[in-house]
Structure 1
Amino acid sequence: MFVWNGAQLPRLKILNSLTKSKDDFIPVDPTGKVVIWYAYGPTVYEDAHLGHTKNYVSTDIIRRIIKDYFGFRVRFVMNTTDIDDKIIVKGRQQHLLARFKQELATEDDSVADSLLAEARAHL
């Protein structure tokens, strides 16, 4: 137990994934009152879905517990990666498929199903 603002609070323990043990949480700030937290956010490369919110909700809950229950001031930053190689590759594939359709389309603007299936198999 430790005392903060006249109240005895249990020590905050954090699971150390390297040692598989629970260690006391000790902020880097010398006053011991400020927690600086940087979290990697999601890299979104598909349409938005409910799973994307899990990261935001879980980190918000932890942040509120650290702030409201343990009394730390929390400086929280989360990035959002908006592009990576998967997005670039997918865009290139879509471009090549569109060109493939354009070059092989018949007069009625259709492409043989077998050609489309073969093209999609290589995406």
Structure 2
Amino acid sequence: MTATDTIEVGTQLPPLEIAAISRTTLALFAGASGDHNPMHVDIDVAKSIGLEDVFAHGMLSMAYLGRLITDWVDPQAIRSYGVRFASITPVHGKPTATGEVVAIDDVDGERRATLALTVTLADGQITLTGDAVVAI
């Protein structure tokens, strides 16, 4: 019996709690990703369209979900991964990435788990949902 034999529908991935999103985080992610959209780093631009402040890149939240998965399985085990952006993550928002096994299948002799994924802010707002299939 291996550790993955105990994985079943309903298994929860250990949550990934992220520190509050800071302006430094946004600036560093802009540099790392090449996404320098001023909506993420320039408060004057954000205010010019009626927002109170800048907000995080959607791909930053997607990266956190990717980290949740790769903290749980080897990156080579990922068979598919996709997300849907639900709402913005404001600067100072505190996201938590979570996942749950919702199905287990055998595909060509490989045991695979389908994961339901979510990024939720401390106030309960869901900012990102997704799914992934991983070999277990």
Task: State whether TM-score is above 0.5.
Answer: no
TMscore range, shorter length: under 0.3
- Structure in which a larger fraction of residues adopt helix: 1
- Higher share in strand: 2
Higher relative contact order, structure no. (Cα contacts within 8 Å, ≥ 6 residues apart):
2
TM-score for both structures, normalised by structure 1: 0.28
